[in-house]
Amino acid sequence: MKKNDKRPIGVFDSGVGGLTVARSIVKHLPNEDVVYFGDTARVPYGNKSKATIIRFSLEILRFLKRHDVKMVVVACNTASSFSLPAIKKACSIPVTGVIGPGVREAVGLTRSGRIGVIGTTSTIQSCSYGRELARHGAKYRLFAQGCPLFVPLVENGFIDDPITYEIAGRYLKDMRAVGIDTLILGCTHYPLLKGVISDVIGHYVNLVDSSFAVAREVKGLLDKHGLGAGKRQRRGKIKCFVSDDTAGFRRLAGVMLGSSIHVRKAAI
């Protein structure tokens, strides 16, 4: 067991959305560094096939290994839905996605056991959330709904907009009818639509943003494997790489995080 392991944590996403997870990690684990990779040349993943997403994920894993990461966080819901077994097979360091932590948080919050999840088309079709929830026992029921227009709406600045309310109303109509009490936001972009989603689904419904839960999961894995950075003089940093040019990423990071970020282009 190593102590005071200063190597960074590797985090990746199809684009900019996973930065919310990276930020959550350095906020809750201020001694840890993060190497972030956003696959902006091939974004989005949410409408692509399992085989293609696994191929992309393994290419990114090789990139993160070159940066000597001590663990891998798959911050993209779609990649988490498809690639976790392949990534775990291809490396010996701890790996976590966002599905498990999100489901655990939802199970802790629900009273009725009726849980909803919304995500990209590929995430929902993968049934990853249903499989994960089934591990917690038979008393939970999952209601799933793809919301493929939410990502382009967010990325084009339609955040608090009547059009977004109208589209959310259509997507969430059936889910409102079945009476859930907890809704997992199964895509890193969706926390930006929290206000709209809460207004439409009902303010009594708990909204689960996995980024907090993932930071807790990361802490647990670092402790378990003795990989924590220990104390250091400075706060942890996020080193950020993307596969497309950096201008678009910086613009979107501004839209999504409301702050600027230093980022470099990298070939994978």
Binding site for a second copy (CB under 8 A): 40-43, 47-52, 148-149, 152-153, 155-156, 158, 162-163, 166-167, 243-245, 247-248
Least distance (Å) between residue 21 CB and a second copy = 22
Closest of 58, 47, 189, 22 to residue 118, by C-alpha: 189
Alpha-carbon distances, residue 41 vs 27, 56, 213, 248 (angstroms): 28, 11, 28, 10
Q: How far apart are CA 200 and CA 168, in angstroms?
A: 7
In sequence order, what are the residues at sequence separation of 6 or more whose Cβ sits closer than 8 angstroms to the Cβ of residue 178? 114, 116, 143
Least distance (Å) between residue 149 CB and a second copy = 6
Least distance (Å) between residue 151 CB and a second copy = 8
Q: How far apart are CA 192 and CA 196, in angstroms?
A: 9
Q: How far apart are CA 141 and CA 133, in angstroms?
A: 8
Q: Which is nearer to a second copy, 166 or 223 (CB)?
A: 166
Q: Go through the chain and tell me how many residues it has.
A: 268
Q: Which is nearer to a second copy, 165 or 212 (CB)?
A: 165
Least distance (Å) between residue 156 CB and a second copy = 5
Q: Which is nearer to a second copy, 176 or 265 (CB)?
A: 265
- Whether residue 187 lies in the annotated active site: yes
- Whether residue 76 lies in the annotated active site: yes
Q: Which is nearer to a second copy, 36 or 249 (CB)?
A: 249
Q: How far apart are CA 25 and CA 201, in angstroms?
A: 29
Catalytic residue of the set 127, 147, 187, 240: 187
Q: Which residues are designated catalytic? A: 76, 187
